């Protein structure tokens, strides 16, 4: 198949402006895409159903408040590396938001430790069925 140039556009669902927000491919409204980038790493997914991907380096600072359920917060506290544990949950939450499942304001009530619980697809992480969410990479150090 001939390589083809694909044009991406972004429109923000919050403010309605172009240039930021969820990306789409011009002329291919049936294809869903999700992109992520962090220092030294990019990730992308395309599917015929909503999809979300996120890649982050480990957040070493204090975690933001209000973004974890009580169970998740306890799971992070009990981990020998809480910053890494937090980031593992955070990337899942961002992947869900990017797939259109909840908003950033709502992620505090999504229990990503429990696929199939309210708002969290049972197929998260398996890629078996849509919505395709749960791709994440946590990098201990940004690649050089
Ligand atoms: C979606 C979001 C959580 C991801 O941010 P991040 O983890 O820091 O960065 P990532 O590299 O993983 O993802 C960024 C990419 O996600 C995509 N993206 C941005 N907003 C998106 C959305 N609402 N839904 C799905 N994908 C989105 C874009 O492709 C973006 O790429 P860009 O930075 O080159 O434009 C962040 O952009 C955000 O907080 N958005 C909501 C803020 C908002 O609503 N602002 C309203 C402004 S009026
Ligand atoms: Zn906006």
Helix, coil or strand: residue 46: strand
Q: Which residue has the tokens 């991907």?
A: 53
109 secondary structure, DSSP code:
G
Q: Is the pLDDT score of 140 beyond 90? A: no
Ligand 1 pocket mutation, candidates 9, 16, 20, criterion most atoms within 8 A of CB: 20
Separation CA 103–CA 98 (nearest Å): 8
Note the pLDDT tens digit of each residue in 70-123: 999 999 999 999 999 999 999 999 999 999 988 999 999 999 999 888 888 888
- Whole-number pLDDT of residue 1: 62
- Residue 100: which of 126, 64, 69, 130 has the closest Cα? 130
Whether the bond between 131 and the residue before it is cis, its omega within 30 degrees of 0, is yes
Ligand 1 contact via 22 beta carbon (within 6 Å): yes
* Closest ligand by atom to 136 CA: 1
> Which tokens hold the place of 84?
């890494």
- Whole-number pLDDT of residue 88: 92
- Whole-number pLDDT of residue 89: 94
Ligand 1 contact via 12 beta carbon (within 6 Å): yes
- Whole-number pLDDT of residue 34: 95
Give me the phi and psi of 129, to 5 degrees please. -140, 160
Overall average pLDDT of the 117-138 stretch = 77
Q: Is the pLDDT score of 68 beyond 90? A: yes
- Whole-number pLDDT of residue 32: 94
Note the pLDDT tens digit of each residue in 16-57: 999 999 999 999 999 999 999 988 888 999 999 889 999 999
- Residue 69: which of 31, 107, 42 has the closest Cα? 107
- Whole-number pLDDT of residue 93: 93
CA of 21 to the centre of ligand 1 (A): 6
């Amino acid at each position: 198949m001939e390589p083809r140039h694909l044009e991406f556009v972004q429109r923000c669902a919050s403010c309605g402006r172009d240039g930021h927000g969820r990306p789409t491919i011009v002329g291919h409204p049936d294809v869903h895409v999700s992109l992520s980038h962090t220092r030294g790493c990019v990730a992308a997914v395309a599917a015929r159903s909503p999809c979300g991907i996120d890649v982050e380096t480990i957040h070493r600072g204090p975690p933001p408040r209000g973004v974890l359920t009580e169970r998740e917060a306890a799971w992070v506290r009990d981990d020998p590396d809480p910053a890494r544990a937090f980031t593992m949950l955070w990337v899942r939450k961002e992947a869900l938001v990017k797939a259109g499942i909840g908003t950033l304001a709502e992620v505090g009530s999504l229990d990503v430790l429990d696929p199939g619980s309210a708002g969290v697809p049972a197929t998260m992480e398996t890629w078996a069925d849509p919505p395709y969410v749960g791709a994440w990479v946590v990098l201990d150090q940004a690649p050089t």
